[in-house]
Structure 1
Amino acid sequence: MKKNKFLVLLLMIVASMVLIIGCSNDSNDNEGSDDATGNDDTTENDNGEQTKGGTLKIAIDAAPPTLDQPTSTATAARDATRLIFESLVTTNSKFEPVPMLAESIDTEDNKTYTIKLREGVKFHNGKEMKAEDVIASMERWLEQSSITGNIFVDATWTEEDEYTVILELVEPSTLTLDTMASAKQAAGIMPKEVIESASADGIQEYIGTGPFELVEWRQDQYLHYKRYEDYLPREEEPDGLAGKKEALVDEIYFYLVPDTSTRIAGLQTGEYDFAYSIPYDQYDQMESNPDIETMLTPNANEMLVFNKVQGISTDYKIREAINVGLNYDETMMAAFPNKDFYWLDSGYMDVNILNWASTAGSEYYNQNDPEKAKELLEEAGYNGEEFKIMTTRDYDHHYNVGVVIHEQLKNLGINATLEIYDWPTMNDKMGNDFEAWDAFITSSSTVSTPPQLIALSPSFGGGVNDDSVGEAIKEIETAPTLEEAQQRWDELQLYAWEELLPIINIGGYNSFWAYNKKVEGIDALTGPIFWNVSIEE
């Protein structure tokens, strides 16, 4: 690549000054970041190391409902906030919890945890992260996040010194760090003053320790980030969401582009560098384009969530009839028209999370027996009542799954209607307007332990509303060994399929994304990763 002449001259001057001043054993170089070169393009220096520059333009399909990280289960919120915020613990590519903002974590009994903080880590407002910020953030995470479960009930966080915090649980748990490391409703660390100034509607400033800082959020248009120059990376090799993070581009834009054809056209013309949610029927076309790379990565389980609060689906017999009558393979094929894009699996947990993959209850999965379903409807006394299915066009696969289920239910004799909303509106109705729906289509992104599953949450979509689920979750969380926890999880999953049916777990699927070949370093783990990414001009 061509060298910047000004840079070469500057380096010659600096070298001359060093010769005049004399050699020194001290170095001002930071291994995790490079000095500005004066060249906006990402290039390579004489040592073959990447330098920084350029703007990464990303077309997202749905707007994040919030950037208040602990409060939202939406994948758009997860991906938009992970550039800004970091947690004490994160997950590597094997979904193992490893330190991020923590320097070390020690425990002898899985009940008391001594957490040493990394020193010198700065928030985007220039303040150094210390124990008081961690304690305020973690206490708020416990209040706002639905994934914390029983592990952290009445847990206390105390400051030993300004770089050490103590977590004290009421009961020991082998799942503590896995939960703290979750990417969903992540435990992002924020300045104490940001937490204290939060209103009932959430935090007012989005200030974290991540490699990028938020410049502007223009609702329904874009999010604009820039490199945080004082970011302090870890030294370990990048591995999943863990290890060294570098902001190799100057800026990142998340453009809201809900129209699929516009995202594809923008990617093809170079208006966008990366595009979310490419339709699966476009796979061959994207693969044949010499300027575009495709990306398939395990992402989530598609599911039909029943209203357990009010309405017709509060009747277990109705839920059972629907489960018996649906054809899951046909449903998944409609949204993911190639068997490379999806898989059928009865497990509530992602099949790739080996510690928790379970086949319990598989005999109730994908029965595809319309005649038996009609008999169950008759037993339930069904008499043509409306059954409202809520979905969104903001995610093509959710819409397509909704269309097929709607048609299958009508064939079973159910008076099904399809209610279509934009994603933020649908999110609001999930938890606040139970008259608007009897079931809705969504997905459960990959989590590392069963207690994090939204399908069994006491609050998501009105909650699972079954005391025995809560008791089982607590037993999993407090089991003295992983083996005992796994056995209890098998029992709970069987119960969910056999006697409860809070959801129908339809199948797992890969996300399909595409990006320009000039983009290098894209990785993914529960969503795409945009640090350590460069643009070659």
Structure 2
Amino acid sequence: MTIRATCLLSSAVIALVAAGPVSAQGVVDVAIIGDPDTFDPMISTKDVVSIVTQHFLETLYTFDASWDVVPLLAADMPQISEDGLTYTIPLREGVSFHDGSTMDSADVLSSLQRWTEVASRGMGIADKIAGIEATGPAEITISLSEPYSPLLSLLAFSNSAAVVYPEEIIADQIETPVGTGPYQLVAHEPDQYVQLTRFDGYTQPPEAAGERRQTLDEIRFVPVPDTNTRVEGLLSGQFAYADSLSTEAYDRISASDVAEPVLLEPFGWPMFAVNHKQGLMTDLNIRRAVQAALPHDDMLFAAFGDEKFFQTDGALYPEGWAWHTEAGTDLYNINDQERAAEYLEQAGYDGQPLRILTSRQYEFHYQMAEVARMALEMAGFTVQMDVVDWATLAQNRDNPDLWDIYITHSPFLPEPSLTSSFFATSREGWNNPEKEAILDRFTAETDPEARREIYAELQTITYEDVGLIKIGNFNALQGKARSLDGVTPSPWPAFWNASIME
């Protein structure tokens, strides 16, 4: 869904949009990698959507600086029954939507029901939800058919997000989002800007979530697909913040009097997402051939250029994380094209093109793909590189007819169950019965140590069945104006506490 330049508040805004974005004191322009293709984060897992929509749409819970789940629209943490099947959630009272209505349990009920029907994460646990009820004007109760330990993490996450809308606008597609956040969406000019302004009716969340001050009058998100253009705009002072910059620009930004680098270390992991629904990659030997052929060191070096920006590491979580394990990583970074050729022979490979879907808006994706292509061709693959813009990639990856591998990345997430690729309901469709059994045990277990042991099994089968292919760890580079204060470094930078220093 592409949202055209639209007045979202009143007829008065239409005239302002026609003349361009509103000028105001305390305005920041933020360069992002592309235009959000939707402002409904329930139906999207894209970071560019999360970065923008978190400012005007909110969830029952959120994460604090330590990645602990804390209340946002909920008034407190839930009461959980002894059997782990019933979550009774108190709701904050007096919370206003941007249309002037007041949030109540009917809004939350309708929103959560829609989440289980249209959101990939919600659909992934829909079969475990026995019911959702409004058990009072300011109370919602979720009943499970079996314990599901990551539930609160799912309710807190900002993509495929369980955001709360007014009951009256709930539909299969929500063209005009109405939320409760500190800023409100007033206009969108495709490929030019997304304009947010302060919501004067905002009420602050509970203390644990942290204050969300509205220091800025306006935030404008500007889609800038080319990484070099984002860098130059940051250095010239055009942008107060720029996301996803090439690591080659680090030294230039460091030396600038106008801007400074923001390095997230470690940020996350690039991966090759595998089409398990149809096509070449449904054959295990083909998947093993790809896994064996890839030269991870070379791919990471091509993508990031300097070892201070990446680590060749097969563990799905790096050292220092509770989920870190080396289980299964003997199958990481094999870099053996002859072994890959043997797998191709076992598969009876006939030269059918292996279609790799990628984009240059995340330049490091493309650079990894180019190195992978050469290694795969050495192993005997015919490789078809489909290089498109990120919006097209996001659309095409939902159609399993169009790709065998697409390249993406993820930050390290606080709960492994937030990684949608593990679930058969994801667009990749990895539906291995042994993996499903492991995943069910993992999500039903509540003891942290037992969960870590089961997670090691999940990582092992990810390698053995080639559920996905992790390339390594990387540190992400963003940049900010030296005059910008109050933005906490994050995979999803938020600007509700931002201010411009004189």
Scaled by the length of structure 2, the TM-score of the pair is: 0.90
Distance 2:162 2:450 in 1: 27
Contact 2:116 2:125 in 1 (8 A): no
Tell me which amino acid in the other structure corresponds to 2:195: H
Q: Secondary structure at 2:472's aligned position in 1?
A: strand
Q: Counterpart in 2 of 1:162? A: 137
2:299 alignment partner, one of 319, 331, 338? 331
Alignment of 1:516 with 2:481, yes or no, is yes
**Residue 127, structure 1, aligned to residue 101, structure 2:** yes
Whether the aligned pair in 1 keeps the contact of 2:273 and 2:428 (CA below 8 Å) is no
> Residues 137 and 352 (structure 1 numbering): CA distance in 2 closer, same or farther, change over 3 Å?
farther
8 A contact 1:429–1:436 mirrored in 2: yes
Q: 1:225 to 1:206 in 2, by over 3 A?
A: same
- Corresponding residue of 1:388: 355
Question: What is the SS of the residue equivalent to 2:270?
Answer: strand
- The aligned amino acid for 1:481 is D
Provide the rounded CA distance (Å) in 1 between the counterparts of 2:429 and 2:351. Answer: 26
Q: 1:151 to 1:107 in 2, by over 3 A?
A: farther
Instruction: Determine the structure 1 residue equivalent to 2:15.
Output: none
2:411 corresponds in structure 1 to 445
**CA deviations over 1:464-495 (Å, ceiling 9, x no partner):** 13233223222211124232222222112111
String of CA shifts for 1:77-105, please: whole Å, max 9, x gaps. 11111001111111112211111111112
Mapped pair 1:423 → 2:397: no
Structure number with larger C-alpha Rg: 1
CA contact (8 A) 1:389 1:438 kept: yes
Tell me the residue number matched to 1:473. Answer: 439
CA distance 1:152–1:287, change in 2 (3 Å): farther
| Alpha carbons 2:35, 2:191 under 8 Å: kept | yes
What does 1:43-82 align with in structure 2 at a 5 Å threshold?
A: 53-82=25-54
Deviation at 1:457, TM superposition (A): 2.4
Aligned residues: 476
Consecutive unaligned residues in structure 1, runs of 5 or more: 1-39, 42-52
C-alpha offsets along residues 43-92 of structure 1, whole Å, 9 cap, x if unaligned?
A: xxxxxxxxxx5101011112222111111111111111100111111111
* Deviation larger for 364-373 or 150-159: 150-159
Residue of structure 2 aligned with 1:215, choices 170, 173, 186 = 186
1:174 CA drift (Å) = 2.6
Equivalent residue runs for 1:310-459 within 5 Å: 310-348=278-316, 350-351=317-318, 354-432=321-399, 434-459=400-425
User: Matches of 1:375 and 1:254 in 2, distance apart?
Assistant: 49
Letter in 1 for 2:302: A
Give the match's secondary structure for 2:90: strand
Fraction of identical pairs, as percent: 32
Deviation (angstroms), 1:342: 1.9
Secondary structure of the residue aligned to 2:29 is strand
What SS does the aligned partner of 1:160 have?
strand
User: Using the alignment, how far apart are the partners of 1:345 and 1:437 within structure 2?
Assistant: 26
User: 2:40, 2:409 → 1: CA distance?
Assistant: 20
**Cα distance in structure 2, aligned partners of 1:454 and 1:169:** 20
Structure 2's unaligned 5+ residue stretches are 1-22
Deviations 1:365-384 (A, max 9, x none): 11122222222223332333
Asked if the contact 2:72/2:206 (under 8 Å) is kept, the reply is no
Task: Please give the root-mean-square deviation of Cα atoms over the aligned residues, in Å.
Answer: 1.9
Please show how residues 11-30 of structure 1 align to structure 2 within 5 Å: none
Q: Residue deviations 1:153-203, cap 9 Å, x none?
A: 2332222221122222122233221221122312111111111xx24xx21
- Show the counterpart of 1:113: 87
Displacement, 1:459?
A: 3.2
1:204 and 2:175 equivalent? yes
Q: Give secondary structure in 1 for the equivalent of 2:36.
A: coil
The Cα of 1:352 is off from its aligned counterpart by 6.9
1:417 aligns to what SS in structure 2? strand
**What one-letter code is carried by the residue in structure 2 that aligns with 1:320?**
R
Q: Is the 8 A contact 1:217 1:223 kept in 2?
A: yes
SS in 1 for 2:398: helix
TM-score by length of 1: 0.85
Q: CA 1:137–1:396 in 2, change beyond 3 Å: closer, same or farther?
A: same
Aligned partner of residue 330 in structure 2, secondary structure: helix
Secondary structure of 1:409's counterpart equals: helix
Structure 1 CA distance for aligned equivalents of residues 225 and 446 of structure 2: 47
